[in-house]
């Protein structure tokens, strides 16, 4: 679905909910995505968070003035995890006619953006890749990351393994060390599977790899059209 043919429903608010960060570059990157969604959508678009920043999703829902307006919480989150399964579900229960859309990933559009970031970073065709996710203790979230790796492998034509910064195994630093030991004369390449710059991206950049790609959203750079379209798709699917 292109931005010009969005199936968003008039009268239903789109609430884009990101994790939240203290990183200024990350704040600008997410704000730029939401601004692009706002320009493309034919509904009211709001920004909320699940952590660190305000307003939280529940507080924003309670503050909406039109009691009859329905809403969709669209997670600007890569995989299913506690924030989607618990935090946003609990927030949606605070206001009637509120639904929670699916997480952004896994999706072929994300694989396309990751490929672009890898090429920007200097990845060479044929080099295996480690896909680095934030990590979650929920099994469905780690499964999502493995599915994302399969989608990326299909685009790149190389082996793509999965590792995590926190909360899940294998740990990224261990995966990097194992890859280097297995092929000491080859570069270790890590693809960031994070939405925007922040603390976790800084950990990925210090994991010891030879090459690390940037996040899906780059601060002070054009927002990938694929991400805007995906947010609108998730919104429309939740309303259908």
pLDDT digits (tens, 9 = 90+) for 196-232: 999 999 999 999 999 999 999 998 899 999 999 999 9
Mean pLDDT for the stretch of residues 180-207: 97
- Nearest in space to 218 (alpha carbons), one of 196, 234, 237: 196
Q: Please tell me the distance from the alpha carbon of residue 129 to that of residue 161, in angstroms, as a whole number.
A: 6
Per-residue confidence band for 87, with pLDDT thresholds at 50, 70 and 90: confident
Per-residue confidence band for 234, with pLDDT thresholds at 50, 70 and 90: very high
Per-residue confidence band for 8, with pLDDT thresholds at 50, 70 and 90: very low
- Nearest in space to 190 (alpha carbons), one of 65, 227, 199, 206: 206
Q: Is the pLDDT of residue 1 over 50?
A: no
What is residue 58's predicted lDDT score, i.e. its pLDDT? Answer: 94
Q: What is the pTM of this model?
A: 0.92
What is residue 196's predicted lDDT score, i.e. its pLDDT? Answer: 97
Sheet of 129-133, strand order: 160-164, 129-133, 189-192, 211-212
**Across 16-25, 80-89, 147-156, 157-166, least confident range:** 80-89
What is residue 6's predicted lDDT score, i.e. its pLDDT? Answer: 44
What is residue 67's predicted lDDT score, i.e. its pLDDT? Answer: 73
Task: Outline where DSSP puts E strands in the chain.
Answer: 12-18, 45-49, 70-75, 98-100, 129-133, 160-164, 189-192, 211-212
Delineate the domains of the chain, giving CATH numbers in brackets: 3-104+222-239 (3.40.50.1400), 108-212 (3.40.50)
Asked if residue 168 lies in contact with residue 199, where contact means CB atoms within 8 angstroms, the answer is no
* Percent of the chain whose pLDDT exceeds 70: 95
- Nearest in space to 16 (alpha carbons), one of 240, 234, 239: 234
Mean pLDDT value across the chain: 92
Instruction: Answer positive or negative: Cα dihedral of 17, 31, 142, 109.
Output: positive
Cα 235 to Cα 11, 65, 139: the distances in Å are 13, 21, 24
């Amino acid at each position: 679905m292109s931005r010009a043919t969005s199936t968003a429903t008039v009268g239903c608010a789109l609430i884009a909910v990101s994790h939240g960060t203290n990183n200024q570059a990350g704040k600008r990157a997410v704000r730029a995505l939401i601004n692009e969604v706002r320009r493309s959508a034919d509904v009211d678009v709001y920004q909320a968070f699940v952590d660190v920043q305000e307003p939280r999703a529940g507080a924003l829902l309670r503050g909406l003035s039109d009691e009859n307006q329905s809403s969709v919480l669209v997670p600007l989150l890569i995989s299913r995890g506690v924030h989607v399964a618990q935090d946003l579900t609990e927030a949606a229960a605070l206001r009637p006619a509120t639904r929670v859309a699916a997480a952004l990933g896994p999706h072929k559009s994300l694989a396309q953006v990751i490929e672009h970031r890898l090429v920007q970073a200097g990845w060479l065709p044929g080099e295996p890749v480690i896909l680095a996710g934030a990590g979650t203790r929920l099994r469905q979230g780690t499964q999502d990351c493995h599915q994302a790796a399969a989608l990326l492998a299909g685009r790149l034509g190389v082996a793509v393994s999965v590792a995590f910064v926190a909360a899940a195994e294998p740990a990224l630093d261990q995966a990097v060390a194992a890859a280097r030991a297995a092929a000491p004369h080859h570069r270790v390449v890590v693809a960031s599977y994070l939405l925007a710059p922040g603390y976790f991206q800084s950990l990925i950049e210090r994991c010891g790899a030879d090459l690390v790609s940037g996040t899906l959203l780059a601060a002070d750079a054009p927002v990938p059209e694929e991400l805007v379209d995906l947010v609108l798709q998730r919104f429309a699917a939740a309303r259908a």
